[in-house]
Amino acid sequence: MLPCLKNSTLLVVDVQERLLPAMHEPDRAPLIKGITILLKAFEECGGHILYSEQYPQGLGPTVAPLAECLAGCARLEKKHFSVCKAPDYQTYKSTIQEHVVLVGIETHVCVLETGLDLLADGHQVWVPFDAVASRRPAYRDNGLALLKEAGATVVNAETLLFHQLESADSTHFKHFSRLIR
């Protein structure tokens, strides 16, 4: 069964100014688009959103298109690869829902380590393959395979969105159908 976004947490991992340009170039635009769609869907549905930044002094802030959508959301600054090991994680741990939609970069490092820790804590983890990236496609694919083997569900952003909308009669259908084109 797919998660209900209003009862889930979207965790955006390390999509930062100096990291994004290092990602596999053809994956960058779909990554931003997939995360943006999910951010808007979570916002519209009243879902919970958190985001992290890995050593922002060196890697910069979250990229502008996502930072606008994340205004007002809790930010976890970290140096560990897993968000779950960030100094402020314990402050937010109790707010993280059972279902976590995990997006960001890099799939085989920070997304993987965070996903493994969330699974170990008993969360159900959903990883949209079109909302994660790595420097090399093989690294992304390997990270996704490891997450799936550990118990995460690999899905895509549109599936999560349309599952939430349920019908073309949904009041939000036209708005979101324009976003995915």
pLDDT in tens, 146-174: 999 999 999 999 888 877 766 666 666 66
Q: What is the pLDDT of residues 26-66, one digit of tens each?
A: 999 999 999 999 999 899 888 999 999 999 999 999 999 99
Model's pTM, two decimal places?
A: 0.94
Domain containing residue 110: CATH number: 3.40.50.850
Instruction: Look up the domain containing 22 and give its range.
Output: 5-180
Specify the number of domains making up the chain. 1
- What share of the chain in percent tops pLDDT 70? 91
Mean pLDDT, the chain, rounded, equals 92
Per-residue burial over 21-35, b if 16 or more Cβ lie within 10 Å, else e, is eebeeebbebbbbbb
Residue 61 has a CB neighbour count (10 Å cut-off) of 14
The tally of CA atoms less than 13 A away on the side-chain side of residue 36 is 17
